[in-house]
Structure 1
Amino acid sequence: MRTRPRLTDRMLPLIVGAAQVVSHYGAEENQPDRLPVDPLGVALLLVGPLALAMRRTRPVLTLVVTLASTFAFIIRGHSYGPIFFSPIIALYFTVVLGHRRVAWTASAVAYVFLVVYTNWLAPVPSPGLWHTIAIAAVMGIALAVGEFVRARRERAAEHARVTEEESRRQASEERLTMAQELHDVLAHNISLIHVQASTALHLIDDHPEQARTALTTIKQASKEVLTEMRSLIGVLRDGAPRSPAGGLDRLDELAGRSGLDVTRRVTGRVRPLPSGADLAGYRIVQESLTNVARHAPGSAVEILLEYGPDELLIRITDSGDGTPAESLGGGNGIPGMKERAAALGGTLTAGRHGRGFRVEARLPIPEETP
Structure 2
Amino acid sequence: MPHGPVRAHWPRPSAWPVWVVPLLVLVLEFFGTMAAQHGASGDGSPNRGDGWGHGHGWGDGSAGYGITHLDGIGYTILFGGPALLLLRRRYPVFTLATTGLLTGLYFLRAYPYGPAAAAVGIAMLAAIAAGHRLVTWAGTAVAVSVYFGLTALIGVPFPERGTAGGPFPVEEPSIGGVSFVVGWSLAVLVTAELVRMTGQRAAERARTRAEEERRQASEERLRMARELHDVLAHNISMINVQAGVALHLMDGDPEQARTALAAIKEASKEALTEMRSVIGALRAQGETAPRSPTAGLGRLDDLLARARSAGLAVEAETAGEPRPLPAGADLAAFRIVQESLTNVTRHAGPGPVTARVRIAYRDREIEVRVEDDGRGVSLLDDHPGGSGIRGMRERAAALGGTFEAGPRAGGGYAVRATLPLTGEPPDAAEPAEPADAADAADAADRGSGEGAPAERGSQ
Quickly name the TM-score band, shorter chain normalised. 0.7 to 0.9
Which of the residues 388, 404, 407 maps onto 1:352? 407
Change (3 A) 1:143 1:109: same
Greater Cα offset, 306-315 or 31-40: 31-40
Q: Distance in 2 between matches of 1:330 and 1:127?
A: 87
Residue 348 of structure 2 is matched in structure 1 by 296
Matched ranges for 1:330-345 at <5 A: 331-345=386-400
Matched ranges for 1:152-301 at <5 A: 152-204=198-250, 207-236=253-282, 238=284, 241-242=289-290, 243-259=292-308, 260-296=312-348, 298-301=352-355
Amino acid at match of 2:31: A
How far apart are residue 20 of structure 1 and its match?
5.1
Residue 420 of structure 2 is matched in structure 1 by 364
Q: 1:24, 1:79 within 8 Å by CA — same for their partners in 2?
A: yes
Residue 64 of structure 1 is matched in structure 2 by 97
Q: Distance in 1 between matches of 2:180 and 2:323?
A: 73
Which of the residues 79, 83, 97 maps onto 1:46? 79
Change (3 A) 1:52 1:321: closer
List per-residue Cα deviations over 1:79-110 (Å, max 9, x = no partner): 54433222122212222333222221222123
Amino acid at match of 2:30: A
Report SS of the residue matched to 1:68: helix
Q: Distance in 1 between matches of 2:79 and 2:258?
A: 96
Q: Distance in 2 between matches of 1:226 and 1:33?
A: 90
TM-score by length of 1: 0.86
How far apart are residue 322 of structure 1 and its match?
8.6
Q: Distance in 2 between matches of 1:169 and 1:180?
A: 17
How far apart are residue 140 of structure 1 and its match?
1.9
Q: Distance in 2 between matches of 1:300 and 1:265?
A: 13
Percent identity over the alignment?
Answer: 45
Q: 1:303, 1:315 within 8 Å by CA — same for their partners in 2?
A: yes
Amino acid at match of 2:387: N
Q: Distance in 2 between matches of 1:246 and 1:32?
A: 86
Kindly indicate whether residue 24 of structure 2 is the aligned counterpart of residue 12 of structure 1.
yes
Q: 1:17, 1:50 within 8 Å by CA — same for their partners in 2?
A: no
Q: Distance in 2 between matches of 1:211 and 1:116?
A: 106
Q: Distance in 2 between matches of 1:97 and 1:19?
A: 30
Q: 2:29, 2:116 within 8 Å by CA — same for their partners in 1?
A: no
Q: Distance in 1 between matches of 2:222 and 2:375?
A: 36
How far apart are residue 189 of structure 1 and its match?
0.8
Q: Distance in 2 between matches of 1:118 and 1:347?
A: 83
How far apart are residue 229 of structure 1 and its match?
2.9
Q: Which has the higher helix share?
A: 1
Amino acid at match of 1:348: F
Q: Distance in 1 between matches of 2:333 and 2:389?
A: 13
Q: 2:29, 2:114 within 8 Å by CA — same for their partners in 1?
A: no
Kindly indicate whether residue 155 of structure 2 is the aligned counterpart of residue 143 of structure 1.
no
Residue 124 of structure 1 is matched in structure 2 by 157
Q: 1:13, 1:52 within 8 Å by CA — same for their partners in 2?
A: no
Amino acid at match of 2:372: D
Which of the residues 45, 70, 88 maps onto 1:55? 88
Q: Distance in 2 between matches of 1:276 and 1:34?
A: 80
Residue 100 of structure 1 is matched in structure 2 by 133
Report SS of the residue matched to 1:130: helix
Kindly indicate whether residue 165 of structure 2 is the aligned counterpart of residue 109 of structure 1.
no
Q: Distance in 1 between matches of 2:338 and 2:364?
A: 23
Change (3 A) 1:329 1:49: closer
Q: 1:27, 1:81 within 8 Å by CA — same for their partners in 2?
A: no
Change (3 A) 1:292 1:213: same
Report SS of the residue matched to 1:57: coil
Q: 2:404, 2:416 within 8 Å by CA — same for their partners in 1?
A: yes
How many residue pairs match? The answer is 365
Change (3 A) 1:200 1:321: farther
How far apart are residue 257 of structure 1 and its match?
0.5
Amino acid at match of 1:303: V
Amino acid at match of 2:363: P
Q: 1:300, 1:321 within 8 Å by CA — same for their partners in 2?
A: no
Q: Distance in 2 between matches of 1:43 and 1:226?
A: 75
How far apart are residue 293 of structure 1 and its match?
0.7
Q: 1:299, 1:322 within 8 Å by CA — same for their partners in 2?
A: no
Structure 1: 5+ residue runs without aligned partners?
Answer: none
- CA-atom RMSD, angstroms? 3.1
Q: Distance in 1 between matches of 2:320 and 2:154?
A: 94
Q: 1:247, 1:278 within 8 Å by CA — same for their partners in 2?
A: yes
Q: 1:350, 1:360 within 8 Å by CA — same for their partners in 2?
A: yes
Q: Distance in 2 between matches of 1:305 and 1:203?
A: 35
Q: 1:196, 1:217 within 8 Å by CA — same for their partners in 2?
A: yes
Q: Distance in 2 between matches of 1:77 and 1:10?
A: 24
Amino acid at match of 1:22: M
Amino acid at match of 1:19: F
Report SS of the residue matched to 2:303: helix
Change (3 A) 1:36 1:202: closer
